[in-house]
Amino acid sequence: MDRIRIKGGNRLVGTIPISGAKNAALPLMIASLLTDDTLTLENVPHLADVEQLIRILGNHGVDYAVSGKRIGQSGTSGRTIHFTARTIIDTTAPYELVSKMRASFWVIGPLLARMHQARVSLPGGCAIGTRPVDLFIEGLQALGASIDIENGYVAASAKGGLRGARYRFPKVSVGATHVLMMAASLAKGETVIENAAREPEVADLAECLNAMGAKIEGAGTSTIRIQGVEALSGARHRVLPDRIETGTYAMAVAMTGGDVTLENTRADLLEKALDALREAGAAVEPVANGIRVSRNGAALRPVDVVTDPFPGFPTDLQAQFMALMTRAEGTSQITETIFENRFMHVQELARLGARISLAGQVARIEGVPRLAGAPVMATDLRASVSLVIAGLVAEGETVVNRVYHLDRGFERLEEKLGNCGAEIERLSS
């Protein structure tokens, strides 16, 4: 099993290209099930989760082709992939595939909308909370689906097709908003989704669906209106920049006191996180085609944050910000409101010398003047990269084990950091 070794102490200086968003690419890929035409996606990141979803879609009959790189493209340029679901050959998503990645459960919406039936295993994924599928089921039932849970599978059917309806989510859910929006695109009549997720990835999916012929209004707000259509066509769509990768590298730069331009990204995708960085003492400014982040000599100040759905502070940046706060001059507080088990990185940061105390969903971080390298273990995707951020300033050598978590969500992390001066390498078993 691969590991990552870091020798701390180097400032990050240079340019880091930001990849396409994993959290946008996955639902966009799943949307290919809605049409028998070809859906072409540009700027698709090369990640383990993307490759796993390609295998899952292939199980349903989706063919794919990857375009070659254009002249002038760098090794970190996103891929262009063509997805064609001419014929759905299987409406079952088996446990051995779905258990490896939670987002693969989302195929239930397009399969039900297009084929009027689906049998999908209950999902797996990161162990950061229960994340039940109740919201998905209730939303699809509101559209007229009959659903049973049997032998670990969700069996859904909609004889004659789905019907438009008004549904209000009792709790904001990005995944359930994706699924209901895709399903409603082919439902008969109008669907109104209330208390919908407002994340940029939801708006990105809606933009793609509209290019395919859907009629969606209000994506990016809490109320989405969808006029169902009989069929969707193919389209070409570019995946938006990864705001979590952007925030992660921004925090790494602030941690090392560096000066880096993050290319191919947008500040409006993560304003709350960038505001927290500014409050902590980093300079953050939008530039042409990106964001410049620097911290030259200023001490890190403690900042309190509360995770919230967009446009709040992202839960997917909570671990990274905690790593940054371990070196602040004072005590900061992080309150996690989205997932109940998302502090598993605390014990590993403590191995590097961090002082963090937990009380329920609140973490208090007492900044320390130094961290010391040590072997640590990644527990989930975002926690793993928080250990890398801490390792960048830890004295001596830090070895991060179980980095397959990193490969699920960060494209060429060692290369991107190494090109900016980090002493970092992958150790293959």
Q: Is 170 annotated as ligand-binding?
A: no
Q: Is 102 annotated as ligand-binding?
A: yes
Residue 119's alpha-carbon distances to 143, 146, 194, in angstroms, are 17, 12, 26
Q: Is 135 annotated as ligand-binding?
A: yes
Residue 307's alpha-carbon distances to 131, 169, 273, 312, 375, in angstroms, are 16, 19, 10, 6, 28
Q: Is 154 annotated as ligand-binding?
A: no
Residues in Cβ contact with 190 at an 8 Å cutoff, skipping those fewer than 6 apart = 164, 225, 226, 227, 228
Q: How far apart are CA 321 and CA 303, in angstroms?
A: 9
Q: Is 316 annotated as ligand-binding?
A: yes
Q: Is 375 annotated as ligand-binding?
A: no
Which of these, 410, 408, 403, 393, lies nearest to 426 by C-alpha position?
A: 403
Q: Is 308 annotated as ligand-binding?
A: no
Residues forming the active site: 126
Q: Is 81 annotated as ligand-binding?
A: no
Q: Is 172 annotated as ligand-binding?
A: yes
Strand partners for 216: 226
Q: Is 243 annotated as ligand-binding?
A: no
Q: Is 134 annotated as ligand-binding?
A: yes
Q: Is 174 annotated as ligand-binding?
A: yes
Main-chain phi, psi angles of 362, to 5 degrees: -120, 130
DSSP string covering 269-302, please? Answer: GSHHHHHHHHHHT-EEEEETTEEEEE-SSPPPPP
SS3 of residue 52 by DSSP: helix
Q: Is 355 annotated as ligand-binding?
A: no
Q: How far apart are CA 53 and CA 56, in angstroms?
A: 5
Residue 44: count other Cβ atoms within 10 Å of its Cβ: 26
Known binding residues: 22-23, 102, 131-135, 171-174, 316, 338
* Known binding-site positions for UDP-N-acetyl-alpha-D-glucosamine: 102, 131-135, 171-174, 316, 338
